């Protein structure tokens, strides 16, 4: 999932965790805001994604790890593929993961690898030099603090070097089979703003996540990332979206008609 460079500035965005529901005895709930036509728009996006033939379907993070590895190794591989995927096309991430796995991809094998070798293997993922550094640092922390496994909370995951909120929520989902929040990447951020699924326009993916979680039913949180990423790769492109091929063109606020 390639992202515009400006996400370098992410550091200043506070991470908001799910505070859970209202206390009993609090003021009566206001009717919840929700976007116009969202259910219809969602249904039509599902229809457009029915063939599951976007890059994310064939080479996304949940296709990058070795499903026959022990659970702890599998979880480590999920986290690593997420770290590699930032600002990188799925095809490139998938190829880098394959090269790593051919050498037996475990916490110990990465710790034993020197930086130059790791760099050669993961090149040409985006910002590969930084990622070599982050991967080595994070892997060392996993070994020392978590017995070689990955943490099982968003709070701990985002403390790891090179791991942001989107990766943390995806890691919870794929590695731990737990829905902790909506994973918002560049595609989800762009598309939900175009569809006006946020009350007012958001600047950062993390803001978008908080805005979406306020109204989108929780049973859709897992699906929405996968749906919208593929839709963004094939139809709702960053530049020159293919509105004429989109089933939502009559009910999309951003459609070029």
166 is catalytic: yes
- Quickly list H helices, 147-204: 154-157, 165-176, 186-194
Pick the CATH number of 38-48+182-245 from 3.40.50.720, 1.10.20.10, 1.10.1670.10, 3.60.21.10: 1.10.1670.10
Instruction: Name which of 37, 9, 61, 21 is nearest 207 in CA terms.
Output: 9
Taking CA atoms, 115 is separated from 58, 121, 134, in Å, by 29, 10, 11
C-beta of residue 139 within 8 angstroms of C-beta of residue 171 = no
pLDDT in tens, 34-61: 999 999 999 999 999 999 999 999 999 9
pLDDT of residue 12: 46
Q: What is the tens place of the pLDDT at every residue in 62-83?
A: 999 999 999 999 999 999 999 9
Q: How many other C-beta atoms are found inside a 10 Å radius of the C-beta of residue 241?
A: 20
pTM (2 decimals)?
0.86
CATH pick for 64-176 out of 1.10.540.10, 1.10.340.30, 3.40.50.10140, 1.10.1740.10: 1.10.340.30
- For the record, the structure tokens of 49 come out as 């994604």
The alpha carbon dihedral of 96, 97, 103, 107 has a sign of positive
Q: Residue 128 — very low, low, confident or very high, per pLDDT cuts 50/70/90?
A: very high
Query: What stretches of the chain show up as alpha helix (H) in DSSP?
Result: 38-48, 55-59, 71-85, 90-101, 107-112, 115-122, 128-146, 154-157, 165-176, 186-194, 205-213, 221-234
User: Active site residue: 136, 166, 196, 199, which one?
Assistant: 166
Q: What residues does each domain of the chain span? A: 38-48+182-245, 64-176
């Amino acid at each position: 999932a390639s992202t515009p460079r400006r996400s370098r500035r992410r550091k200043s965005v506070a991470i908001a965790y799910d505070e859970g529901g209202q206390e009993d005895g609090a003021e009566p709930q206001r009717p919840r805001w929700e976007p116009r036509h969202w259910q219809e728009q969602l249904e039509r996006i599902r229809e457009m994604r029915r063939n599951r033939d976007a890059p994310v379907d064939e080479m996304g993070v949940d296709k990058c790890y070795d499903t026959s590895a022990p659970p702890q190794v599998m979880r480590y591989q999920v986290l690593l593929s997420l770290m590699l995927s930032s600002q990188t096309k799925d095809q490139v991430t998938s190829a880098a993961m394959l090269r790593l796995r051919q050498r037996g991809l475990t916490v110990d094998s990465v710790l034993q690898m020197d930086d130059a070798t790791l760099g050669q293997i993961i090149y040409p993922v985006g910002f590969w030099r930084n990622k070599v550094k982050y991967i080595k640092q994070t892997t060392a922390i996993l070994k020392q603090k978590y017995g070689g496994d990955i943490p099982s909370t968003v709070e701990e995951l985002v403390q790891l070097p090179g791991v942001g909120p989107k990766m943390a929520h995806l890691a919870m989902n794929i590695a731990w089979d737990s829905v902790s929040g909506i994973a918002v990447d560049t595609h989800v951020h762009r598309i939900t703003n175009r569809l006006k699924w946020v009350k007012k326009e958001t600047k950062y993916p993390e803001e978008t996540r908080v805005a979406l979680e306020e109204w989108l039913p929780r049973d859709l949180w897992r699906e929405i990332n996968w749906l919208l990423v593929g839709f963004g790769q094939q139809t709702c492109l960053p530049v020159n979206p293919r509105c004429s091929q989109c089933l939502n063109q009559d009910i999309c606020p951003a459609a070029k008609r």
